Structure 1
Amino acid sequence: MISMFGLTGGLALLIILTIRGMNLFIAAPLCALIVAVSSNIPLISGEESFVTLYMSGFSGFIAAWFFMFLLGAIFGKFMEDTGAADSVARWIIDKLGFKQAVLAVVLACAILTYGGVSLFVVAFSVYPMALSLFKDANLPRRFIPATLAFGSVTFTMTSAGSPEIQNWIPIKYLGTSPFAAWEVSLVVAVFMATFGYWWLKRMIGRAVKNGEQFDVRAEDPKVAVRDYPHPITGILPLIIVLALSFYLHDSMAQLALIVALSGGVLSLMIINFQHFHNLSAAVNAGTTGALVAIGNTAAVVGFGSIAKHTDAFQQTVEIMTQIPGNELIGAAIAVSVIAGLTGSASGGQAIVLPLVGPHYVDQGVQPEQLHRIVSISSGALDSLPHNGYVVTTIRAICKETHKAAYPAMAALTVVVPLIGLCIAIALFSLF
């Protein structure tokens, strides 16, 4: 009982401190310490001590993602410093008009995500263009994180055919394909895309009517009009990243992103070398941004590493995987809850699937249906305030606060996927 109070209390405190803007290098270990003490985890001594478990999660995430964060941040800074992002943004505004600025950002994120580019990298890559588009259209910049997230972690991340890991983990346990239950997936994806975009536009429109505008900050990139390169010089590197990631994904898995981003960075340097204002400053800024982003995310991953080793977490997993009634509803609840506790969609799947997958299949549940439900449900409650992608996008990339940016992001990345999940369960139940 004490362990359960510690786990839920520690998670609640982490969410509260994150929303209030406390430094995650302090907040995450502090909350993890509360969870560890309440579960009688040794603080220092032993292979499963607080220090060992927390740092294994922290360092493991950095080891797995460092080069992707580094190259992604440098790519974004190069897009800013050369003026390529501004050039692409102005071209889009000229062709589509100011009213389509939000749509342009959503589509850019969706194309890159469905093309296999990591969610974190998409945020780094598209943010400079999003900033320029929102500036030119005079839209409140606090909606940029929600716009980036909507195009990345909703209708593309968990849809049939998506190369993102959230659509591939079930294959290992269920023997399905990435296109499992594609008919229902298509319906849900279309709903999430149309309803989510309508809601996003409504929120932004309401803010504009209330007098909100784009607020220029001192750290925003400043590029003179005469320095703008041709728009194609900003589009081509993005295409190179997308193409390399798409074609190398199957053979190189996550390493394909390193090659893809390296190609994007090199192509930007070659094509726009004469447009750099300060190459060394851009590299330094990108490196610093990458360290802050990956550090914040790793701090939260460390909390999840402690949480997974508590008795309360194991009890929660056991309870969630034995929910009576409709098996698809049980699987959806189990994955959603565990993903919320760990702050990770892939983590929720990897923990729950080995337990519920064979059990539900033996009871007659179609593997394709279970695959799609698990995939969609993993992309809802995982986007709570302490989620690594949420923290990185809001704080490290967009330089916003949770208080300002998270409500819109929660609407699009938690509420919309939950409604989509309900639609999927209903369709599977009817047909």
Structure 2
Amino acid sequence: MLSIFGLVGGLLLLIVLTIRGMNLFIAAPLCALIVGLTGGLPVFIGEENFVSNYMSGFSGFIASWFFMFLLGSLFGKFMSDTGAADAVASWIIGRLGKKHAVVAVVLACAILTYGGVSVFVVAFSVYPMALSLFKDANLPRRFIPAALAFGSVTFTMTSAGSPEIQNWIPIKYLGTSPFAAWEVSLIVAIIMAALGFLWLNKMIKKAVANGEVFESFAGDPDVPERKLPSPITGIIPLLVVLVISFSFHESLQQLALILALGGGVITLMIINWRYFHNLSNAVNEGTTGALVAIGNTAAVVGFGSVAKATPAFLTAVELTTSIPGNELIGAAVAVSVIAGLTGSASGGQAIALPLIGPHYLDQGVDPEQLHRIVSISSGAIDSLPHNGYVVTTIRAICRETHQRAYGAVGALTVVVPLVGLAIAVALFNIMG
């Protein structure tokens, strides 16, 4: 019982401290220590102790993602420093008008995400253009994280055909394909996209009506007034990243993203070499930004590693994976809760599927329906304030605070996917 209180209390405390802006290098291990101690984990002694569990998750995430964060951050900084991001933003504003600035940001994220680019890297890549678009349209910048997240982790990440890992993990356990239940997936994706667009625009219009405008921050890209490069010089590097990632995703898997981002950075440097404002400064800022972003995320991943080692977590997994009643609802609840506890959509799937997959398949549940429910449900409650992607996007990339930005992010990445999940379950039950 103490372990359960510790797990819930530690998670709630982490969420509160994150929202209040506490440094995650302090908040995450502190909350993890509470979870570990109440769960009976020794701090130093033995193989399964707090320090080893926390550092295993922390260092493991950095080892897996360092080059992607570094190259993604450099790509974003180079887009800003050369003026390529401003050029693309000006072109979009000129063609579509300022009222479509938000649509442009969301679609750019959606295209890259569905092309196989990691959601973390999409945020790095699109942010410079989003900043320019919001500045030109004089829209409140606190909604940039919501626009980036909505285009990346909702109607694209978990949809049929998506090359993102959240759509591929179920294949191993259910024997399905990336296009499992594509008909229902398409309907749900359209509804989620429409609902999210309407809600995001409504929130922004309300903020503008209340007098909110674009605010410049100290540390924003300092690019002097000058002749900008052609917009195509900003679009081509993005296409290079997209094409390479999509072409080599299956054969090279995660290494394809390093190749794609490396290609994008090199292409950007070659095409826009003479437009660099301060290359040395861009490299320094990009490197520092990558370290801060991956460190913040790894700190939260370490919390999840400690949580998974406690008896309370095992109890939560057993309870959620044995929910009686409708099988699809049970699977949705199990994956959602576990993803929320770990702050990871892929983590929720990887823990739940080995347990619920065989259980529900033996009961005759359609594997394609189960695949789609698991995928969609993993991308909802995982986006609580302590989620690694949320923390990285709000704090490290957009340099916003949770208090200003998370309300919109939570509405679009938690509520909208939950609506989509409910619709998917209803449609599958109607179909039988």
TM range (shorter): over 0.9
- What SS does the aligned partner of 2:226 have? helix
Structure 1 residue 233: deviation in Å? 0.4
1:233 aligns with 2:198: no
Pairwise CA RMSD: 0.5
Distance 2:279 2:244 in 1: 25
The amino acid across from 1:417 in the alignment is P
Aligned 1:318-337 pairs, distance under 5 A: 318-337=318-337
Aligned 1:265-276 pairs, distance under 5 A: 265-276=265-276
Distance 2:217 2:305 in 1: 37
1:213 aligns with 2:213: yes
Gaps of 5+ in 2: none
Gaps of 5+ in 1: none
Partner of 1:160: 160
Partner of 1:46: 46
Report the count of equivalent residues: 431
Identity among equivalent positions (%) equals 77
Structure 1 residue 191: deviation in Å? 0.2
Cα displacement string for residues 303-340 of structure 1 (whole angstroms, at most 9, x for unaligned residues): 00000000000000000010000000000000000000
Partner of 1:80: 80
Partner of 2:317: 317
Distance 1:416 1:304 in 2: 24
1:6 aligns with 2:6: yes
Distance 1:286 1:415 in 2: 33
Q: TM-score, normalised by structure 1?
A: 1.00
Cα displacement string for residues 398-426 of structure 1 (whole angstroms, at most 9, x for unaligned residues): 00000000000000000000000000000
The amino acid across from 1:240 in the alignment is V
Distance 1:430 1:287 in 2: 51
Distance 1:312 1:218 in 2: 44
Distance 1:354 1:227 in 2: 56
Partner of 2:381: 381
Aligned 1:303-314 pairs, distance under 5 A: 303-314=303-314
Structure 1 residue 277: deviation in Å? 0.9
Distance 1:421 1:173 in 2: 20
The amino acid across from 2:321 in the alignment is T
Distance 1:4 1:375 in 2: 27
Partner of 2:179: 179
Partner of 1:338: 338
1:18 aligns with 2:18: yes
The amino acid across from 1:135 in the alignment is K
Distance 2:274 2:48 in 1: 53
Structure 1 residue 225: deviation in Å? 3.8
Partner of 2:147: 147
The amino acid across from 2:427 in the alignment is L
The amino acid across from 1:245 in the alignment is S
Partner of 2:199: 199
Partner of 2:414: 414
The amino acid across from 1:214 in the alignment is F
Partner of 1:134: 134
The amino acid across from 1:189 in the alignment is A
Distance 1:61 1:161 in 2: 26
Structure 1 residue 219: deviation in Å? 1.2
Cα displacement string for residues 181-206 of structure 1 (whole angstroms, at most 9, x for unaligned residues): 00000000000001100000000000
Distance 2:99 2:243 in 1: 29
Q: Which consecutive aligned stretches of 4+ in structure 1 deviate over 6 angstroms post-superposition?
A: none
Cα displacement string for residues 205-240 of structure 1 (whole angstroms, at most 9, x for unaligned residues): 000000000001221113234231110000000000
- What SS does the aligned partner of 1:226 have? coil
Structure 1 residue 265: deviation in Å? 0.4
Partner of 1:289: 289
Cα displacement string for residues 245-293 of structure 1 (whole angstroms, at most 9, x for unaligned residues): 0001010000000000000000111110111111111001000000000
The amino acid across from 2:247 in the alignment is Y
Structure 1 residue 114: deviation in Å? 0.1
